[in-house]
Each structure stands twice: as C-alpha cells, then as structure tokens.
Amino acid sequence: MKKVKIALLGLGNVGRGVYIILHQNKEEIMKRSGYEIEISKILVRDLNKNRGVEVPEDILTTDFEEILNDDSIKLVVEVMGGIEPAREYMLRAMEAKKHIVTANKMLLATEGDEVFEKAEEMGVMFQYEASVAGGIPIINGINENLTANKVNELYGIVNGTTNYILSKMELEQLDFDSVLQEAKEKGYAEADPTSDIEGYDAQYKLAILASLAFGTKVDINDVYREGITKIKPIDMKYASDFGMSIKLLAIAKDDNGRIELRVHPTMIPETHPLANVYDSFNAIFINGNAVGDLMFYGRGAGDLPTGSAVVSDIISILRKNIEVENQNPIIRNNLWEKQVKNIDEVESRYYIRVTVEDKPGVLGQITTIFGSNRVSLKSVIQKGRKNDESHEVALVLITHKTKEALINDSIEKLYDLRTVKDIENIIRIEDFN
Amino acid sequence: MKKVKIALLGLGNVGRGVYIILHQNKEEIMKRSGYEIEISKILVRDLNKNRGVEVPEDILTTDFEEILNDDSIKLVVEVMGGIEPAREYMLRAMEAKKHIVTANKMLLATEGDEVFEKAEEMGVMFQYEASVAGGIPIINGINENLTANKVNELYGIVNGTTNYILSKMELEQLDFDSVLQEAKEKGYAEADPTSDIEGYDAQYKLAILASLAFGTKVDINDVYREGITKIKPIDMKYASDFGMSIKLLAIAKDDNGRIELRVHPTMIPETHPLANVYDSFNAIFINGNAVGDLMFYGRGAGDLPTGSAVVSDIISILRKNIEVENQNPIIRNNLWEKQVKNIDEVESRYYIRVTVEDKPGVLGQITTIFGSNRVSLKSVIQKGRKNDESHEVALVLITHKTKEALINDSIEKLYDLRTVKDIENIIRIEDFN
C-alpha cells in the first residue's frame, strides 16, 4: 500500500470531522484511494484547547512554516475558514506544489479567482466540495455530472440555520425571536447569527454555485440578498392558506445569457420537493435543458457530513496520479461572460401584506394604484378587524407575474395614501414555471 | 479544438436523446470536454425507420463491423439495451481499444463482471451512469462522492412506471388496473408492463446500486422481489389513515457485513422525503456513516434525462487523456465479500389485512396466533360489515418489528383458522430507523 502524508489547517468542527472519518473509515478509504493516509501535521492556534477528539500532541503545531517546509506533505486540507490567513496559507502551499482541499466558502466566493489561478499556474489539484451545502455533492454534481446541460435555473436551501428556524415557525406556529433563541441554545444558530439570518451565508454559497452552473464569474456584490427576520407567524399562516411554504431560497436563473442572482424568503407551493425540506437539511433543485428537474438533499453542515465531502475530495485527488508533477486539472469552467440583472428587472409574483384604515373605498384606492402601474392582482383578501375598537384591517394582495420595479413603484404610491397605515411585508412567490 | 469520433449502438429513445443533446448543447459540450464530438456512425436495425429526429442517412449503418474496424472511432456508446448482441459488441469494441459508455442495466446487473473485467484488461474507460435512474447522477454519486463513507442503507424509487401508478392510486383513489391502462395509453407503461410492475426493472437497478454502495459483487438472484399488482385502493386508504404512503422501494442494508437486498411495495411515513416523490420521478435515499442522510431526486427515464447521463459520461472520458493508451481506470470497487440475508431473516414491521367471519372470539384467535409466534402487534383495526347481509369484516393488523420468518409462520397458521376467509395483503413497513 502506498502512503501519503497530508496536513490539516484548522481543527474546529470540520477539522474534527475529517480527523474522525480518516480514522473510523480507514479501511474503506485505503481501498478506495489506493493510499494509506497519514495526517502528519495539524495547524491550530491553541495547542491546549479541548477539541472533542483525541489527537496525538506531537502532530499539533502552531507554526504554518512547519507544514509548508515539509516536502513529504503532498496535500493540505484548509478547514480554518475566513479569508486570512487561509488565503495566504493556501497560496503558499500551492507554490510549494501541494494539492489543496478546502471547505472555505467565504474565500472562494470573494477571492476565488486568485486561488483558482494559482492552482492552474502551479499545476496542483484544488477541490472544494465542502464549501457549499456540507455533505451534499453539489459542486461535483454540477462540475462532473451536469456537463451535458445548459442549466436554466437553480434553487437552493443552502443555510441550515434559517431552514431550521422557518421550519419551526411553520410547523409549530412560533415567532422568529423565540425560535432563534431556541436555535442558539441548541447550537443550531451562532451567538451572532447575522451571517445566517440576514442571508450572507447563502449569498456566498449562491455565488459559488451560480458561477459553476452557468460557467461564468460571479461578483458576490451582484447577488441580491434579503434575510428572514421580517417573516411573521401571520405570514406563515397566510402562506399555508394559499397552499405555500416560506423558505429562504438562493435563486439563480439564466435568461438567455442574462442571469438573476438573489437570496430572499420565498413562498413556494407546498407540493414542491423543496417545500418538504425541513429542519437543518439543505437541498439544491436544478433545472437543466437535458436532465430536467434534479434535486440533491442532505446535511448542509456538521462535522461528519462536511468531513465526508472533504475526505471524498482527498480521495478524488489521490485517485489521480499525484506522483506526476504539473497536473492539468479542470478547476473552473468560467467560460462565458454573462450580464447580471438588477433586482428591479426580476419578474415574480408577490405577496403583499398591508394594514389599512377600515373605511369604505380603501380597497378601491389600492387596487387602482396597482392597476395604474400595470400590476395585475390575482387575489385580494381582507380580514376583519382585530377587535371592535380597532379601526384597522389587514389586507393581503397576491399579484400575477410582474417586474419588481413596478411593485416598488406601486408600494411607494401606497405609502402616500393616508388610509394605508403600513406595508407590513412583501414576499416573492416562486411557481417554478 | 481537438476532434473525436464516436459511434452510437442503437437509436431508440436514449440514442435519440444523446443525438439531440450532442447537437443542441454543442458549444457547452465542446468547451467542457475540450473536444468537438462527431457522431460518425450509428448502428441501427432498420435504416428506414422514423426515429423522431433528423439524422444524416450516411452515418446510419446496420453493420457493426463498420464501427469496429474504424480506428478513428475512439468511443462507443451502447444504447441498444438487452443482453445480446450488446454484450458481444461491447466486448469486441473494448478489444479494439475503444472506450465505452453504456446505459444497459440488464447487462450490468447480470453479466457485469465480464464487461468490467474486459475494460480493466484492455485499459479502456467504461462509464455507465445512465444504467440506473436516468438523469440522476447516482452511480457517480456513490463511486466518486461517497467514498469517505461506509454506506449503511440505500432506499430507491428507481422505477418511474410503478411510481406513476402508485402516485395516481394514492392521489386520485383509483384502482391498479385502470391506472395501468391509462399509463399504457400515455406511454408511461409498455404494452407488456411485466418488467416494471413485477419489480424486475427495480431488481436490476438495485443489484447495480448495492454492489457499488457496499463494494461487493451482487448476484441478481439474491435480490428479493415483489411487484405492485396486489396493492388495492383500500390499502392506500389504510396507509393514509396511518400517516403512510405506499412506494415500490428498492432496499439495500448492510448489517455488519451481512446485507439485505429487496424490492417490494413498502409503507413509509408520509413525512419522509421519499414519500413526496410523485409521478414518474425517481429518487435514491442513502445513509452513510459520515454524510448521514442524502437523497438524489430527478427524472429516471426519458430520452433527454437519460441522454444527459450518457453525454456527461462521454465528457468525463474525454476530460481524461484519451490519447494515452492503457488507462487504469477504477471501474469497480468490488472490495469485500458480503453475505446476503435470506428474506426470512429480514426484520420489518408489517401491515396485514385479512377478511374474517364476523363472530365473537375471532380477534382473540388471531392475536393468540401472533402472540404464540412472538409477533407483537402494535395496533388492530376492525372495520364494520360491508352491508347487513355480509358476515365478513376486514381486520388490519400492524406489527412491531419482527423477523419475516415469524410473520410467515403466523400467516400459515391463520390460514388454518376456519374463521379467516382470506389474507388479503401483507405489506412491509419501513420506519427508517
């Protein structure tokens, strides 16, 4: 059996998963990769931290140079996350002709070009399956298995924290704040949950997925982003009345070379496969012009699921001939220039919930505004007063498909009406057709 | 741009899909594969048949030798199906150093060893993604992306015809015969639907999937098989009452090296992702010891979805260096010897529907039989008489988990009771835990 030495950069959640899998499934991994894999060094910040796994002390180091200068280490696994020093370490490891496996979505979504180009320049292999949707093989799915297709559309539930929160809100009729609190206590949400609940995490992931699916470079700033904090139990209730679920979707569409990139809460039909993705599970639904509809579903986070993706990347590299210098791997498929649509140009149906004065003629005023903006309403629901003293009622409008700019125009005019007390929420509706 | 010539064996449904995709997505395929692909020959039985696609007459041939002896043809795509002459043609093409892409589940499930060995012997590449579940990349998913895992369990809805029939029966409360008739008219079922409705098609596919998932050889005769013809609307109704759906599942489990392989109608919780796979869609749900639960969902048949898998296999071969002779591809992972459990040894919960005489003491007789066989009943439901004249009632029993042998024993004894008129149906229940 051939032997190979590898190093880990980082021993947090994902690093622990990689360490456990390489030991627990050692026999399977040896047979499938053709190599006995030795983790010869692990870079950590604190040698004495408890990491929930037994690691021999002598392989821990706080000094990256020890790994860099060890020519017997052929492959470096970056699982520290964040931009720096991960970026610097990867670049220098590649310059030293070491192959790279990384789980770093933030780096790839923002500074991906530089590391991809370095890999190509140095002829080293560079794999990053774990950077999006944890254990779900969506990166290789797109890069290797959908190559016969033009991808038309991609819809992802790619953030487990928000899907957990929305699932709880839907199934147990709870409000956002209390579910977030519970998620924090259970470890499903971080102490500072901003990156998850405001959609930044999904934004990174969509940038990576869309760039692969459409074969184009994606600037993270071109991805429109909205979080889930504005979703109220009453919106869940209305959604359910309409036969819909609310999910935080990462959406990418290719409209004849002009692409849409957006992350926002979305009402989807409850019969759609994505509507049945609950708890912290992730799923990516793709439509290709040959394959039709395809969905990948699984664990988007966690030490072992994410570790599964990292280790399969390691095995994938070892199965190629790593003894040959100057590999010529296909690392990216950035083949086309595509123009990104502004969110104003996006077409969708919309759910609009407003609070209005309970007076005759109000409904007429409102529908007139939408009509004059060429927004066609599919249904209008007026609910009774909250109580006898209240002079306000809730109005829920569902539009037909229309340009977002026209919705925004209409909303602005609604605010001018004295009878309109508040625009409570606007949620895009996706019909998948 | 480099050029490569390929040949198709067969121009039926899948062949047409491959032909259309190679033309329609030509630009994408060129950029991703690095090759301009020319279909230089297509083997057909009848030169004059209308195939629903425009093909230049001069590339059609009825003579396989023309393809075999053309050294400029580097890759042969076998989409004719069936054992012979597909087997002979593939073996001879490999002997002539041509790479192979095939969609032939029947051949791989029954005579796979011979063709895999030939590919290894000749150092040619051999890809077969399209052989199971059409456009769903489950073969590469297991072979390339789950390599870090021990696969514990695999559950597949791998036959679109039966899933279409069961979906219709469930959602529209129709009976089997009328849905089958409609499926034939719509082209979802063949004139002779035996292979689908009796589970043979699923049996082939499970043999292939299980051999990959568990890294072992699977004899098709070791796969237990039951079709869906015995499912009645009343069973669907009871299932729904219990919060379950009925699906034809292909099930493979690895119980510490002893494996289960079985295809049969199965009651599953309606909240499980597989329960929401409707119509002719396929899905494969896998549990790995690192990745946890993972599901792949998509189109299991059809010219373009299956063609998508075939063409992605072609691209995958072209991305390797096909100019190098004697490739050393990893074609199989038949690494372990595993023992297959007899169906008698399988443990499951069971749904048992019987018709009994409406007499005092009958229920007691029946529960006594199960009790004496150590089968514990979870629930017993007795429905009233069909009408006043009937002296028979329906009894539905749900067991706790038990060995199949004990169920069979109990059933035999039930038949001896004069009060038991008929054992109407027995359906296994899968709880996924």
pLDDT value at position A388?
Answer: 64
List of chain B residues whose C-beta atoms are within 8 Å of the C-beta of residue A291: 135, 298-299, 304-305, 308-309
Please state whether the peptide bond connecting residue B85 to the residue before it is cis, i.e. omega within 30 degrees of 0.
yes
Tell if the CB–CB gap between A17 and B315 is shorter than 8 Å.
Answer: no
Tell if the CB–CB gap between B135 and A33 is shorter than 8 Å.
Answer: no
Say which of A98, A118, A168, A205 is annotated catalytic: A205
List of chain B residues whose C-beta atoms are within 8 Å of the C-beta of residue A315: 147-148
ipTM over 0.90: yes
CA distance to partner chain A, nearest, from residue B296 (Å): 5
pLDDT value at position B386?
Answer: 63
Q: B331 to chain A: nearest residue by CA? A: A32
A36: left (phi over 0), alpha (psi -120 to 50) or beta: beta
Task: Spell out a b/e string for A173-202, using b for 16 or more CB atoms within 10 Å of the CB, else e.
Answer: ebebeebbeebeeeebbeeebebbbbbbbb
DSSP-assigned letter for residue A161 = H
Q: Which of A28, A148, A309 sits opposite B150 (nearest CB)?
A: A28
Q: Which of B25, B32, B298 sits opposite A293 (nearest CB)?
A: B298
Which segments of chain A have a pLDDT < 70? 325-334, 384-388
For each of the domains in chain B, give its residue range(s) and CATH number, in order of start: 2-131+303-319 (3.40.50.720), 138-299 (3.30.360.10), 343-429 (3.30.70.260)
Give the B window 289-308 contacts with A, CB below 8 Å: 289-299, 302, 304-305, 307-308
Give the B window 373-432 contacts with A, CB below 8 Å: none
pLDDT value at position B360?
Answer: 86
Tell if the CB–CB gap between B25 and A304 is shorter than 8 Å.
Answer: no
List of chain A residues whose C-beta atoms are within 8 Å of the C-beta of residue B31: 215, 333, 335
Measured between alpha carbons, how far is A375 from A378 in angstroms, rounded to an integer?
10
pLDDT value at position B335?
Answer: 78
Mutate to test the interface with B, among A308, A313, A323 (most CBs of B within 10 A): A308
The DSSP string of B117-131 is HHHHHHT--EE-GGG
The candidate with the shortest Cα–Cα distance to A288, out of B28, B317, B128, B55, is B28
**pLDDT values of chain B reduced to their tens digit, one per residue, 433 residues:** 899 999 999 999 999 999 999 999 999 999 999 999 999 999 999 998 888 899 999 999 999 999 999 999 999 999 999 999 999 999 999 999 999 999 999 999 999 999 999 999 999 999 999 999 999 999 999 999 999 999 999 999 999 999 999 999 999 999 999 999 999 999 889 999 999 999 999 999 999 999 999 999 999 999 999 999 999 999 999 999 999 999 999 999 999 989 999 999 999 999 999 999 999 999 999 999 999 999 999 999 999 999 999 999 999 999 987 777 666 666 666 678 899 999 999 999 999 999 999 888 899 999 999 999 999 999 999 876 666 677 899 999 999 999 999 999 999 999 999 999 999 999 999 999 8
Tell if the CB–CB gap between A294 and B297 is shorter than 8 Å.
Answer: yes
Vertex A384, ends A379 and A389: CA angle to 5°?
Answer: 150
pLDDT value at position B334?
Answer: 66
Task: Give Rg (Cα) of chain A.
Answer: 25
Measured between alpha carbons, how far is A181 from A306 in angstroms, rounded to an integer?
25
pLDDT value at position B329?
Answer: 64
CA distance to partner chain A, nearest, from residue B283 (Å): 9
CB B121 within 8 A of CB B114: no
A242: tokens are 């309409």
